[in-house]
């Protein structure tokens, strides 16, 4: 989505205020506005990113392997070391609820083999095979996923918000985050 389309959609679906610390994403729930600040990162990618032609699914991931609170910049370094263009996820959600941008939301990601062409990748920081996601991370995730669903006209459900393991042979997003997906979808639906 280009800037003009973003602003047009924003005008009709709510107000998005651009701040020095990122964007504030509004979502409506029972007539109340929920806001989420997204920290902008301006990563340099090793090759030009391709614009995604359609968006049909949001895929939920976890970092896995470490329960440390790693930054989007650290994940970008890891993905560059894998010889990828750069960070494969579109958003990173920290345990305290802070959200960072990875790839631009309209770019094809690199987060789910054979399923990057029509998806947005959202990664929760932590290893949710062992740890339990925080309430702050879940709350931010619900608002962010509602924003993504509204932006692309998706109805929150089991076909539009999935865990990485639903599409690939992996433990991701970890059993403890995966078990929260039904509640997350319900929370997203309240905002849409």
Residues 19-52: pLDDT tens digits? 334 445 665 655 556 778 899 999 999 999 999 9
Interior/surface letters 152-171, b for 16+ CB within 10 angstroms, e for the rest:
bebebeeebbbbbbbbeeee
Helix 135-152 to helix 181-191 angle (10° resolution) is 50
**Considering the entire predicted model, what is its pTM?**
0.86
Per-domain residue ranges of the chain: 43-191
Q: Is the pLDDT of residue 183 over 70?
A: yes
Q: Do 44 and 107 touch, CB atoms closer than 8 A?
A: no
pLDDT digits (tens, 9 = 90+) for 92-132: 999 999 999 999 999 999 999 999 999 999 999 999 999 99
Token code pair at residue 35: 């806001």
Q: Is the pLDDT of residue 4 over 80?
A: no
Count CA atoms within 13 Å of residue 53 on its CB side: 2
Q: Do 38 and 23 touch, CB atoms closer than 8 A?
A: yes
Bridge partners, residue 172, by sequence: none
Report d(CA 51, CA 110) in Å as an integer: 13
What was the pLDDT predicted at 55?
Answer: 97
What was the pLDDT predicted at 1?
Answer: 46
Q: Do 113 and 158 touch, CB atoms closer than 8 A?
A: no
Distance of CA 142 to the CA centre of its chain: 10
CATH topology for 43-191?
Lysozyme-like (3.40.80)
């Amino acid at each position: 989505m280009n800037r003009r389309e973003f602003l047009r959609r924003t005008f009709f679906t709510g107000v998005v205020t651009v701040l020095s610390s990122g964007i504030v994403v509004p979502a409506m729930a029972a007539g109340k506005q929920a806001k989420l600040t997204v920290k902008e990162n301006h990563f340099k990618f090793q090759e030009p990113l391709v614009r995604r032609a359609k968006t049909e699914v949001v895929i939920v991931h976890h970092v896995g392997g470490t329960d440390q609170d790693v930054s989007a910049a650290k994940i970008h370094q890891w993905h560059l070391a894998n010889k990828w263009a750069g960070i494969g996820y579109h958003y990173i959600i920290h345990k305290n609820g802070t959200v960072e941008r990875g790839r631009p939301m309209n770019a094809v990601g690199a987060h789910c083999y054979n399923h990057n062409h029509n998806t947005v990748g959202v990664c929760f920081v932590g290893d949710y095979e062992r740890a339990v996601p925080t309430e702050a991370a879940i709350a931010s995730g619900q608002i962010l996923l509602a924003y993504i669903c509204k932006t692309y006209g998706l109805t929150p459900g089991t076909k539009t918000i999935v865990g990485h393991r639903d599409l690939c042979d992996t433990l991701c997003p970890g059993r403890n985050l995966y078990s929260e997906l039904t509640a997350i979808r319900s929370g997203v639906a309240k905002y849409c």
